[in-house]
Chains A and B, each alone.
Chain A
Amino acid sequence: MNITLNWLKNYIDFDFTAEQLAEKLTMLGVEVETIKQLGIAIDGVVVGKVISIRPHPNADKLVLCQVDIGKEDKLQIVCGAPNVRDGMVAPVATIGTELHSGVFIKSAKIRGEESYGMLCSEKELGISPDAAGLMELAPELSIGTPLAEALGLDDTVLELEITPNRPDCLSLIGVAREVRAETGNELRHPQIELNESDTETQGVTSVTIDDPELCPRYAARIIKDVKVGESPDWLKQRLESVGIAVINNIVDITNYVLMEYGQPLHAFDYHKLNENRIVVRRAAEGERITTLDEYERKLTPDMLVIADAEKPVAVAGVMGGHETEITDSTCDVLLESAYFSPSSIRSTAKTMGLNTEASYRFERGADPENVILALNRAAQLIAELAGGTICKGIVNVYPGKQEPIQIQLCPERVNFILGTELETTEIEQILSRLGFGIKMVQQEGLDQEAAPTEDNVFQVTVPSFRVDITREIDLIEEVARVYGYDNIPTTLPKGDIPVPVPNKLAEVRRRIKNFLLSSGMMEAINYSFVHPNCFEKIRLSEGNPLREALKLQNPLSPEMSILRSTLIPSLLNNAQHNHNHQINNIALFEISTVFVQDKEPTRVSGILAGEIGGGVYGNPYKHPDFFDIKGIAEGALEVCGITDYAFKLTDEPTFHPWRNAELLLDSKRIGILGEAHPEVLENYELPYKAYLFELDLNALTEAADFAKQFKPIPIYPSIQRDLAIVVDKEMQSDLPIDIIYSTGGKLVESVKLFDVYIGDQVPDGKKSLAYTIMYHSATETLTDKVVNDLHDKVIRKLNQELNAELRM
């Protein structure tokens, strides 16, 4: 909501500059978002009066004017405007002024005659496109005053952000009340005096409320014989300065009073109301109305409407009807001022997709006690500005009058909650400045042990405009904000620190993340939303439960319409994005929850593609392969202390059928990895291979074992034997390792595969595997004989079990 400084000053006195006021309001919780100075473009332009005119000696179309701008010396100004005349009051741009158009005014000789300024048209000032002649100013304006001030344009607009709990601040008087809380200065309400005619309002209209729950109060006045037309300049300027469109004098007045009191009003053309009367009721099934914006709208029985004897003429509290609106031919006006139930207005406005100044206020909560004040104020202004006579009395139907809310406030509780040491008198003063009724009473019914209290508590009466205050804690906030949050002490918590509970998942997450970072992978974060086609793109099999993804009802776009059940498509998207930008060293991982049916497991996934490594002399890029991604997965498990895992080839269609594996832990799948299938690469427009893994962190957490135990450093030396065997090409290379360990028993310290060879040196269909075996005993130095015998036994066993030939 916008307000202006000068307008606000109508209701309360204060000495603040706009910036100071903005600061005060902000620190009271009425945040000022912007401060905008009006009328800056006419700085340096003053009100001047032409006191004599004589012809220009050297030009037929120019004249020499003597102009009074309130100083002793009169200015000679050369002017060519057709309407310039003796005695005319017009704007004068003085020397040094830069006009709206960019023209800079300096003293000049025009056709040989000195000119010390410029008499201006509206166009030259940027006020309107009118360039026909000089702007004619009212003769009573004080000569020499700055034009902006003279025209009321020297104002400052403050843009306020009013929180939803403070509808009482959605008006000038409401903001003035906040200024009162700050300054203690008294409010100045508009003086309302009505000249009523003899015609009784009750005799010419009636109001029936069928649903008092949705409409607790409805009041109406009739103003006859109005002249609908343009509003006076001051009214138009006021509304325009706060961003409200100017329509006609009647509507402008209702908007002006809305801004003044925060009470939405509506004016009907009295003669277009069937039987000239008002019925407040729910809409009937199938009823329709064309609203002021000329849209025909469907009404439903949960909507409250204002109807005449036959049909709806307004959507209550939201928007008036087109048919009964004020037009140039309207002569009699029925003015509505009412209070509607906030939740009903809210639901109607939401259903219709309409958010009007009226619905905005009603749905947050207007002040039912404002209804008559605002109605009378508008009637007064209509009579003043649009002529017309006000019928006698008000039709005031008020079935839902509420008693004011009373709250007990314990002063000690204020200090208990805030950590302050406020005196009761300070609390009392703050609340009464805010308009609360307050008196000290003997406390009753409060549990003595529950909170520190004294014998006396305040009995606080909540004013009707403060719909947000219903509890003691609400009053405590009022005290806090007016006292100033900045004045509340700053202390550290005194209570006990709770005993922390270990979080194993977080530890697994941390270890794996550190491992991946040290492996050269960059951390990615992707949106949880993905395109439903991603399952096709990664060739997920038809029955895969990951396809049953959760769908958004209101997605931003199809690309973001389901919740991801796997991280793999996101990382492939990232690879594609980077490749499209010529970045081809792709090593990314992401750790995130995914959404699988009603569970949110945490996953880690990674991708290696293009060229990985340093890409510099001595550390060139290399193309990743299956064993890079496998090593990453193995490392991730090992940092969690998991060693007894197994790999098994799968038939997951996402992957190359012969270059993939699932990771098994106790024969349960805890992850998958491999080379992306060529079609997957094609779907993501990647011209090179990509290697992916995804692990289930929850399963890893279950198996993780961070406990470490000391093993004695070997005292006796180890003996190394290398072994190369020739086996069938298809044989798994981990089989010999198992046999070596089981044959060698405790004396085998470690076995490492250090070479794999397929080629001319071995027969077709065979491969050579070379291992380093370290033999070691914890209790003695092994002799060559012992080791040789054992090594021979290993060779024999490999030959028996795997038909392995020793390669010489």
Chain B
Amino acid sequence: MQFAHPKGPAMPLSHRRSVIAASLFIAFLLDIAPWPLEYIWLRPDFLLLVTLYWVIYQPNYLNIGAAWLLGLVLDLGDGGRLGQHALAYAVTAFVLLLVQRRMFNFPPWQQALPVAALLLIEQSISILIATFTGDTHYRIEYFAAIATGTVFWVPLWALLHRLRTPSTAETK
């Protein structure tokens, strides 16, 4: 599985850890923010999107372990089943690391499709765990969050890209 491991020197645009931490924290807050309950199915997982972004661009800082921890924090934050999103996040980060080199060179609108696939992986694993632990019924609306998450990808990418650009000019 060596191909799935980020090799070589760190990517030249090294972002300050504070930017990464702050963006993840804000994404987490957005995830636990109140959301109109009629449209709860459309709620995108901001924390996952930001995690995916940093796994693509800073795989040395954010890899499987960090993704797992963030999933665990999300489970704690929303009072769900502990470990469910942790596992799903870890697997998603792993799959992303397999294609990280290619994703790194894609423009954001081309990244959107693989990102949608990754969101599907996360939700499928989530639902699989829920099935194993006793939940039985799901509606197809559950997967609507993939569409909204994909829609959010490009603006999110632009925002995070803008945030990290000045830091590349400053550092070393």
Check if A and B associate.
no
